[in-house]
Amino acid sequence: MKKTTQYLAMSLLLMAWSNLSQAQRRNTPANTTTTTKSAAPNRAPSTKPKKEVDEENFNSIFSVGITTNTNSGLLGGFMVRKEIVIDNGTARRQMHYFNLELVNVDNYQESTLHAGGNGSGYAYGKKNYLFALRPQYGREISLFRKSSDGGINVNGFIAAGPTLGFLKPYYVDVYYGRGYLVSEPYDPNVHSINNIAGSGGFFKGLGNMKFTPGINIKAGLNFELDAFRQSNISLEVGFLADIYSKKVEIMALSDNQSVFTSGYLTIFFGGKK
């Protein structure tokens, strides 16, 4: 939790410093020299001012985000989002919504035990990790637009797409005799609380992943904070449902399911063009 908070704070400070620097450069008048001869009245200026992106008149927004949801821990995964304006002239601006997310999905029945009561933690009965890769397309519409004095933009959206589910074996460290420790995929017929020493390495078993297809749909609200002209910081809050082609075996000792629903919160950092 502490590391995540530090990461978010550092990101916000870096973005603020970058944009303040740009603003200072834009507002600094160019040095000019005076001469005794008057300039020609119809002479065109030698340089053109740099075109700036209007805060409310842009073509697209590209953002990356970190997310948490009710089916994961504090850090649930990562998202990349692209919003493309359809029509800026309407009272309720509409945008194409493209999103790609990679998240970890837990079973709601998972619980953490500690070997020996206070040793290394592990999810007892867990057989597989489930990672969901979700490309999504949808529509986003402006619900409330901020005033000239500031505030926030509030957009509503709905999106859907395929879900690419990847099951990776869950490894546990197992005692076999005194001082002999082996990392193995969890097997309820072999492993118990009496011989499990803790969770095995996360990267073990990547070559043994299995694929399970599905579809997903989500809907929610996007709160665009009052930040800088060309930068975008937003909070996305919504509800998502994954429907897989068969029951996904995450747990060995509990009922598994093919439908997963969750609420989620994502913070995005990006820029407007």
SS (HEC) of the chain: CHHHHHHHHHHHHHHHHHHHHHHHHHHCCCCCCCCCCCCCCCCCCCCCCCCCCECCECCEEEEEEEEEECCCCCCCEEEEEEEEEEECCCCCCEEEEEEEEEEEECCCCCCEEEHHHCCCEEECCECEEEEEEEEEEEEEEEEECCECCECCEEEEEEEEEEEEEEEEECEEEEECCCCCEEEEECCCCCCCCCCEEEECCCCCCHHHCEEEEEEEEEEEEEEECCCCCCEEEEEEEEEEEEEEEEEECCECCCCCEEEEEEEEEEEEEEEEC
What is the token pair recorded at 155? 């957009």
pLDDT of residue 36: 41
Could you read off the pLDDT of 244-264 as tens digits, one per residue?
999 999 999 888 999 999 999
What is the pTM for the complete model shown? 0.75
Considering the chain, what is the average pLDDT of its residues? 81
Could you read off the pLDDT of 128-187 as tens digits, one per residue?
999 999 999 999 999 998 776 667 889 999 999 999 999 999 999 998 877 788 999 999
CB burial of residue 38 (10 Å; 0-12, 13-18, 19+)? exposed
Give the residue ranges of the chain where pLDDT is below 50.
1-10, 12-14, 16-40, 50-53
128: left (phi over 0), alpha (psi -120 to 50) or beta: beta
Q: 57-108+128-168+208-272, which class in CATH?
A: mainly beta
pLDDT of residue 101: 97
